[in-house]
C-alpha cells in the first residue's frame, strides 16, 4: 500500500468511525467494520463487530458479519479438529471444536457437537461440562424448564465422573439453593469443604442453605417448573429476554413514528407487535376483515409457537416468511418480542425486505 493509499484508508476509516460514534446503530457499526476489512485491518474489524454484537444482540446484520469473520479466523482449527474427529475419534477434539463454535456464537452447533461427543465418549467430562454451561445459559435466557433440567443432569454427570471438580459442585449447590432443594446443596458444599474448609464462598452458601426448609420434592422438572412459576420476574431480570421489546413498547408513539412511512406503503394489510409473553401490544390494520385474525387468532398462535420451538430443542423462534395465493406473512422475532407483517400479493417483496432490514438495523435504534 502506497503513501496515498494509506492516507485514503486512514481518512475513510476515521470517517466511518466518527459516523458510528455519532449515531451508534447496527448499520453504522457494520459500515465501520466493513471499512476496516476493506483495508485489511481484520483484528480491528473483529473487535468492532464483537463490541457491536454485544451492544446490539438482536442485530442479524452484526451477528452474521461477526460470525463470518470469526469463522474465517478459526477456519484452520475447525478443519483440523473435524479431521481429527473423523480419523481418530478423539474425545477431546469434540470439546475443543464445540468451544470454538461457542466463541463464534453458533450455540446450536456447539450443542450438537457435544451431544455427539457424549454419545461416543460418555465418561469424558469435557463435553458434559460445555453442555451444562450452554443449557444453563439457555435456561437463564429463555426460562425453559427443559434447559434447566438438562443443565443439572450434565453438571451432575461431571461431578460423578470427577468428584474433585469443585467449580461444578459449587455451581450445583447454587442451583439447588435457588430451586429450594437445600439438602442437595448442603451435600455438594460439604464435599468441597472437606478439602477446602476455609472457602468463604462455600461457607456463606452453606449458611444460606441451612436456613431453608428441606424440600419434600426431588423431581428436577417439578422443582424447575415451581421456580419458574414462583419467580418469573426475577428470572426475567437475570435473563435478557424481553428487555428490548418492553423498552420499545413503553414509548408506543415513538415506535409508531418509526413505522410511519412503512404503514403508508401499498400492499400492507396489517402489522402486529407482541411482547415477550405473546400479548398483542400494538397493531395497525388496513383491512377491517382482519381485525379478528389480528386480535384473536394471532395471540393464540404466537406464545405456543415460541414455546414449541424451545421445547423441540431447535432454539428460540427467529424469522419466518409464509406465502399464499392472496398474499404473504413475514414474522420477525426481535428483542424478546415478535413482529408480524401481513401483505397482499401485490406488495413487492424486495422493497418490503429492504425497508424492514433498514428498520431493524437502523431506524429502531434512533
Give pLDDT tens digits for 37-50: 988 888 999 999 98
> What is the predicted pLDDT for the residue at 202?
96
Question: Is the pLDDT at 209 greater than 70, yes or no?
Answer: yes
Alpha carbons 87 and 325: distance in angstroms, whole number = 50
pLDDT in tens, 269-280: 888 888 877 788
Question: Is the pLDDT at 336 greater than 80, yes or no?
Answer: no
> What is the predicted pLDDT for the residue at 201?
94
> What is the predicted pLDDT for the residue at 241?
40
Cα separation values, 187 from 177, 202, 205, 216, 256, Å: 11, 12, 12, 16, 55
Residue ranges of domains in the chain: 3-72, 89-238, 243-365
More confident position, 142 or 239: 142
Q: Which three cell numbers, joined as nine digits, stand for 205?
A: 452458601
Average pLDDT of span 77-95: 91
Angle between helices 125-142 and 166-179 (to 10 degrees): 30
Contact 206, 193 (CB under 8 A): yes
> What is the predicted pLDDT for the residue at 58?
80
Q: Quick one: 90 exposed, middle or buried, by C-beta within 10 A (0-12, 13-18, 19+)?
A: middle
Domain 3-72 has CATH 1.20.120: no
Contact 293, 300 (CB under 8 A): no
Question: Is the pLDDT at 17 greater than 80, yes or no?
Answer: yes
Tell me the CATH number for domain 89-238.
1.25.40.10
Q: Please state, as a whole number, how many other Cβ atoms lie within 10 Å of the Cβ of residue 293.
A: 16
More confident position, 56 or 81: 81
pLDDT in tens, 276-328: 777 888 888 888 888 888 888 888 777 776 666 555 555 556 677 888 777 88
Q: Which three cell numbers, joined as nine digits, stand for 76?
A: 484452520
CATH architecture label of 243-365: 2-Layer Sandwich (3.30)
Residue spans of alpha helices (H) in the chain: 3-22, 26-38, 42-55, 60-88, 91-104, 107-120, 125-142, 145-161, 166-179, 182-195, 200-210, 220-230, 232-238, 243-250, 252-258, 260-263, 291-292, 298-311, 349-361
pLDDT in tens, 115-132: 999 999 999 999 999 999
Q: How confident is the model at residue 84 (pLDDT cuts 50, 70, 90)?
A: very high
Best CA proximity match to 143, nearest among 298, 276, 249: 276
pLDDT in tens, 64-79: 898 899 888 899 999 9
343: helix, strand or coil: strand
Q: H/E element holding 272? A: strand 268-274
Average pLDDT along the chain: 85
pLDDT in tens, 232-283: 555 554 444 445 677 777 887 888 777 777 777 778 888 888 887 778 888 8
Alpha carbons 126 and 134: distance in angstroms, whole number = 13
Question: Is the pLDDT at 153 greater than 50, yes or no?
Answer: yes
Alpha carbons 340 and 270: distance in angstroms, whole number = 8
> What is the predicted pLDDT for the residue at 186?
96
pTM above 0.75, yes or no: no
Is it true that 3-72 and 243-365 share their CATH fold? no
> What is the predicted pLDDT for the residue at 238?
46
285: helix, strand or coil: strand
Instruction: Give percent of the chain with pLDDT exceeding 70.
Output: 91
> What is the predicted pLDDT for the residue at 316?
57
Amino acid at each position: 500500500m502506497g503513501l496515498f493509499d494509506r492516507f485514503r484508508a486512514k481518512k475513510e476509516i476515521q470517517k466511518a468511525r466518527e459516523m458510528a460514534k455519532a449515531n451508534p446503530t447496527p448499520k453504522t457499526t457494520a459500515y465501520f467494520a466493513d471499512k476496516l476489512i476493506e483495508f485489511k485491518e481484520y483484528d480491528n474489524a473483529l473487535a468492532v463487530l464483537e463490541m457491536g454484537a454485544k451492544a446490539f444482540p438482536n442485530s442479524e446484520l452484526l451477528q452474521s458479519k461477526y460470525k463470518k469473520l470469526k469463522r474465517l479466523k478459526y477456519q484452520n482449527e475447525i478443519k483440523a479438529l473435524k479431521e481429527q474427529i473423523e480419523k481418530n475419534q478423539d474425545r477431546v477434539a469434540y470439546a475443543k471444536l464445540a468451544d470454538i463454535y461457542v466463541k463464534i456464537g453458533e450455540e446450536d452447533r456447539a450443542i450438537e457437537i457435544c451431544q455427539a461427543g457424549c454419545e461416543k465418549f460418555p465418561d469424558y467430562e469435557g463435553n458434559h461440562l460445555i453442555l451444562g454451561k450452554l443449557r444453563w445459559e439457555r435456561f437463564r435466557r429463555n426460562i425453559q424448564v427443559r434447559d434447566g433440567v438438562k443443565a443439572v443432569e450434565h453438571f451432575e454427570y461431571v461431578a460423578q465422573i470427577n468428584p474433585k471438580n469443585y467449580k461444578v459442585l459449587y455451581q450445583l449447590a447454587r442451583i439447588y439453593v435457588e430451586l429450594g432443594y437445600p439438602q442437595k446443596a448442603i451435600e455438594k458444599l460439604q464435599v468441597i469443604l472437606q478439602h477446602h474448609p476455609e472457602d468463604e464462598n462455600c461457607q456463606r452458601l452453606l449458611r444460606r442453605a441451612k436456613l431453608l426448609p428441606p424440600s419434600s420434592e426431588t423431581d428436577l422438572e417439578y422443582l424447575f417448573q415451581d421456580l419458574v412459576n414462583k419467580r418469573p420476574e426475577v428470572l426475567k431480570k437475570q435473563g435478557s429476554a424481553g428487555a428490548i421489546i418492553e423498552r420499545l413498547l413503553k414509548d408506543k408513539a415513538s415506535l409508531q413514528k418509526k413505522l410511519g412511512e412503512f404503514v403508508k406503503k401499498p400492499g400492507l394489510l396489517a402489522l402486529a407487535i407482541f411482547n415477550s409473553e405473546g400479548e398483542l401490544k400494538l397493531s395497525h390494520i388496513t383491512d377491517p376483515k382482519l381485525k379478528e385474525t389480528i386480535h384473536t387468532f394471532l395471540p393464540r398462535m404466537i406464545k405456543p409457537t415460541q414455546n414449541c420451538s424451545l421445547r423441540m430443542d431447535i432454539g428460540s423462534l427467529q424469522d419466518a416468511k409464509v406465502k399464499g395465493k392472496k398474499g404473504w406473512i413475514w414474522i420477525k422475532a426481535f428483542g424478546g418480542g415478535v413482529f408480524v407483517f401481513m401483505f397482499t400479493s401485490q406488495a413487492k417483496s424486495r422493497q418490503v425486505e429492504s425497508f424492514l432490514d433498514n428498520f431493524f438495523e437502523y431506524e429502531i435504534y434512533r
